[in-house]
Amino acid sequence: MQDSIEQTVNAYFDGVYRGDAAALAELFDIDAQVYGDIDGQLYHKSASAYLAGVAARKSPHELGEPYRMKLLALDKQANIASVKLHSPMLGFDYYLYLTLRRVYGQWLIVNKTFSHGSVQEKTT
């Protein structure tokens, strides 16, 4: 059975929300990179370094935050895809893009790029 892009996105959301780095590791290509900015500081890590950070922090679930993550857009061409996601959590309003490729029927994340605004900034 082939995985769908939506299944990969939902598994990504669940892994991030629960802080399940092992489950997330199954979704990332071995050479994947993560780029973004946090509080105005540039951010670049390998997927494995990013996942180590996920494992070391308290998850949104542990902190009692509501699950508000959603898929905003999806574009697929043959064995590549791009998704735009909204992930408000941990005091930030994250918007991110995942680039995926299908390998032997499984959609893997090959790149994650994100930015955010502070949730507190948006509400004042």
8 Å CB contact between 82 and 97: yes
Cα separation, 64 vs 77, in Å, equals 38
Residue 124 has pLDDT above 50, yes or no: no
Strand order in the sheet with 80-89: 41-46, 28-38, 106-118, 92-103, 80-89, 70-77
With 80 as the cut, is the pLDDT of residue 16 above it? yes
Domains with residue ranges and CATH for the chain: 5-123 (3.10.450.50)
Residue 3 pLDDT level (bands cut at 50, 70, 90): low
pLDDT surpassing 90 at residue 117? no
What CA–CA distance (Å, rounded) separates 102 from 36? 24
At which residue do the structure tokens 């948006």 appear? 122
d(CA 21, CA 39): 23
Give the residue with greater pLDDT, 22 vs 39. 22
Has residue 123 got a pLDDT over 80? no
Residue 2 pLDDT > 50: no
pLDDT more than 70, % of the chain: 91
Is residue 83 packed enough to be buried (19+ CB in 10 Å), middle (13-18) or exposed (0-12)? buried
pLDDT score at 40 = 83
Contact 11, 23 (CB under 8 A): yes
Q: What is the 3-state secondary structure (H, E, C) of 3-55?
A: CCHHHHHHHHHHHHHHCCHHHHHCCEEEEEEEEEEECCEEEEEEHHHHHHHHH
pLDDT tens digits, one per residue of 56-108? 999 999 999 999 999 999 999 999 999 999 999 988 899 999 999 999 999 99
